[in-house]
Structure 1
Amino acid sequence: MKKSERLNHELIFLSERPFFQLKDLMAEFQISKRTALRDMAALEDMGLAFYTETGKNGGYHLVSQTLLTPIYFTQDDLTMIFYALNSLRRLSVTPFDKSYPQIFEKLLVSLSTAQREYVLKILNVLEFYDVPVISSSTFLRELLEATVDEQILHIDYKQTERLQQLIQVYKVFYRSGIWFFEAYLVDEDKWKTYRVDCLLACERAENQENRQNRAQLAKSFMAFYQDYLTISFKCEIDGAGKEHFLKGAYRDMQLHEENGQYYIVGHFSREELDYMVQYLITFGKHLTVMEPDFLREAYLAELQEIVDRYAQ
């Protein structure tokens, strides 16, 4: 490990230790006493504030447990950071006040001329394509804050029918151009996946007595979906189908290989039948539904409806 990398790791290591001894650094990073002493001098030069206590049980006391010392990055580190930010520029709607381009520009001006020129040269020839946000998501920030604060929300929601519900959000996620969130329905004791762009209103509920902490929500989430996703399915796919699956696999589906043949296996619920059919249609000729029978029949009916459009 290079010295610059080791110093950064040491800063992180010490952030959780208001008091430590030199032997702690030596053991954690497998370095000699002489190297550990040099590292402590370097960390002090970087801004790490501490004082020493002599004696048998002496050691180093950090002045503050919150490390505000600078972190040093290599050229490759910097390029990776800017590439990640540049890749997210299509994400025009986020839960945050600042956009990725604004953050990108702010960080870029902090680099030296040589570093800036190198980063821009790399980004000019390295591209990342992803689906941009395709719909507005007004309440993203409110959802994120309520999730972190473990607060119950009252929402007004309309996708097919209009609903007013008390929910507690477990997770906010982005997929294929759309923001979603997983939430527990407080009055119905079940879980549901919502689209953020279908929210008409969102506010914190006055009554927070039944709110759950993160661990409780996680346990409830896992238990519900184990009981909810009771229908197993299996589809045969070819090489192109495998690639399509890997580009957008869902959490309740897995890729299996048997004697050189690929299969998608997993579980779904009756309520998700229409969604499953629409998803499987996206594989085109590269997928064959094997089981269950009613999924295959619904899939074939959807294909027939497509064919019938051209027969009119």
Structure 2
Amino acid sequence: MSTPQFLDSILNSILEGKALDIVYQSQEQTIQAFDLLYRHGIWFCNIYNFSTKKWATYRCDNITHCQFNSTQETLTHDQMQKIQNDYEKNYHDIKFECTLTKLGVELFYKNNYPNMYLKKVNKVYYLYGGYNQEEFDYMVQYLITLGNNVKINYPQELKDAYLAELKRIIAQY
């Protein structure tokens, strides 16, 4: 994988608190970057989108144009941290719980997200947290990577989609 084209501008936006005019997935928008994340060979940035007035996580390689915007009033680091905290608290509004095997726990530690937590109750491990409907398909794909080391307890919609995906996988053979 190649390095995304505008990492230096994104990093400057973070360090200097500057706004950026970008094109992301063919849409022009004005953003302010909060931080950079690197996961499995892909760079991401958490941003505040002034155009939509929403918090989001963007894949840096999907940014096709980027330049500094000197007229947009920007947010302080503390303001952005509060927006992120509110987002994390309210955006992941569909609660889920799964039971994990010991290997499932190991896989969780190697690959997990801020909306996911692990607890052990009476020698049984549980993966729990919340997701948003927009992340539903991604959530199913994440759970598929755990294979037979996960059992979805709830919600039923997630369990049904997981089973449907397993059937699609089996049908390939």
What range describes the TM-score normalised by the shorter chain of this pair? over 0.9
Q: Which residue is 1:303 aligned to?
A: 166
The answer on 1:200 being equivalent to 2:64 is: yes
Q: Is the 8 A contact 1:182 1:192 kept in 2?
A: yes
Q: Which residue is 1:155 aligned to?
A: 22
Q: Find the partner of 2:86 among 223, 228, 248.
A: 223
Q: Find the partner of 1:188 among 52, 69, 73.
A: 52
Q: Which residue is 1:166 aligned to?
A: 30
1:292 offset after TM fit, Å? 0.4
Alpha-carbon separation, structure 2, partners of 1:230 and 1:152:
29
- AA aligned opposite 1:198: N
Alpha-carbon separation, structure 2, partners of 1:224 and 1:237:
27
Q: Which residue is 1:176 aligned to?
A: 40
Q: Which residue is 2:148 aligned to?
A: 285
Q: Which residue is 2:134 aligned to?
A: 271
SS at match of 2:5: coil
Alpha-carbon separation, structure 2, partners of 1:136 and 1:278:
25
Q: Is the 8 A contact 2:88 2:115 kept in 1?
A: no
TM-score by length of structure 1 reads 0.54
Alpha-carbon separation, structure 2, partners of 1:308 and 1:169:
42
Q: Is the 8 A contact 2:96 2:130 kept in 1?
A: yes
1:309 offset after TM fit, Å? 1.2
Q: Is the 8 A contact 1:135 1:178 kept in 2?
A: no
SS at match of 2:95: strand
Identical-pair percentage:
38
Q: Find the partner of 1:232 among 95, 114, 123.
A: 95
SS at match of 2:72: coil
Alpha-carbon separation, structure 1, partners of 2:2 and 2:129:
30
- AA aligned opposite 1:180: F
1:149 offset after TM fit, Å? 0.9
How many residues in Structure 1 have an aligned counterpart in Structure 2? 173
SS at match of 1:250: coil
**CA-to-aligned-CA distance 1:8-38 (integer Å, 9 cap, x gap):** xxxxxxxxxxxxxxxxxxxxxxxxxxxxxxx
1:242 offset after TM fit, Å? 0.5
The answer on 1:257 being equivalent to 2:126 is: no
The unaligned stretches of length 5 or more in structure 2 are none
SS at match of 1:202: strand
SS at match of 2:22: strand
Q: Is the 8 A contact 1:235 1:291 kept in 2?
A: yes
Alpha-carbon separation, structure 1, partners of 2:2 and 2:154:
35
Q: Which residue is 1:70 aligned to?
A: none
1:250 offset after TM fit, Å? 1.1
The 4+ residue runs of structure 1 with deviation greater than 2 A are none
Q: Which is bigger in relative contact order (C-alpha 8 A, separation at least 6)? A: 2
- AA aligned opposite 1:153: L
Of Structure 1 and Structure 2, which has the larger fraction of its residues in strand?
2
Q: Quote the RMSD (CA, aligned, Å).
A: 1.1
SS at match of 2:34: strand
